[in-house]
Structure 1
Amino acid sequence: MDKTQLQQQVLAHLQADLDQAHQAALSAHETATHEENIAENKYDTLGLEAAYLASGQARRVEELRQTLITWRQLRPRPFDTAQGIALGALIQLLDAEGRPQWLLLGPPGASMKLHIGEQTVQVIGSAAPLGRLLLGKQPGDEISLHLAGRQQHFEVVEVL
């Protein structure tokens, strides 16, 4: 699998999310500042609620913008056994039942599933519990964490 191609897919998803969040922020701002939403009495809170929504949407836009910048700066490198798993690594794990899964470890803020042909790749951030456990690991290492209400075990099979 081509890590650069995966990164381009992540960037495209993040850009689409940013565009959508930007439109939602503009809409929320228009609603908050529309003359029909001016409070007529102290119990009329529609304008205030719309302002809170607009503020939250603006924060979401900024978070996505920062995530996009961070992902654009990521330079995936070939796996270095001296360093272990690092940002940009493409990792194959086996769960306790022997089912394989591919992960792309990146900066925080971009959890999504990508598809390369028939292969699914889960993008996880380095701040996620599984992401933190994987940093510095090598093929053959085993990790264990509490997920979905139970203890789960994985083996690092391959790192690209």
Structure 2
Amino acid sequence: MIAAFLLLLQAAASQADQTPVVPTAPTAPPTTVPASSLLPPQDWSTLPVLRIRRQATTLANTSAYVHGEVMAGRCAKAVRTVQGWSLTLDLAVLMTPDGRIRRITPRAIDCPTVEQYAAGVILGARDAIDVVDTAADTWYRTSLTFAWGA
């Protein structure tokens, strides 16, 4: 089975070598931010804090989802507190000058489901985010803490 697959790949590669190249019309250079700026800097402490106009209201199922991930063994970073458990996640958020979210990068905590979930929570709060007027896309930092009882 693998040998047949390899033969198929070789045949496709040799067919690709025989296909004539058709020149295309030149296109304008992209006006996007360089790829290097799509990644947050290594030191997040230098980033300005992401300002949210009103306190984010956490639905009961927000922390319940994270609690479920921890109890299922998919997240080991939860901390036991006097009131129960909590899990804090740092995120870097790339904002455009007009206040749109361009990219969200959660700090890896070895729990991809919660990392992506937290990014979704920030994306859902986009209407409550205040951005200082800048001429270029700017990285900001924020943290989310999920908490639940014992």
Q: Same fold (TM over 0.5)?
A: no
**Bigger Cα Rg:** 2
Larger relative contact order, structure 1 or 2 (CA cutoff 8 Å, min sep 6): 2
Q: When the two structures are superposed, what TM-score results if normalisation uses the length of structure 1?
A: 0.27
The structure with the greater share of residues assigned to helix is 1
Q: When the two structures are superposed, what TM-score results if normalisation uses the length of structure 2?
A: 0.28
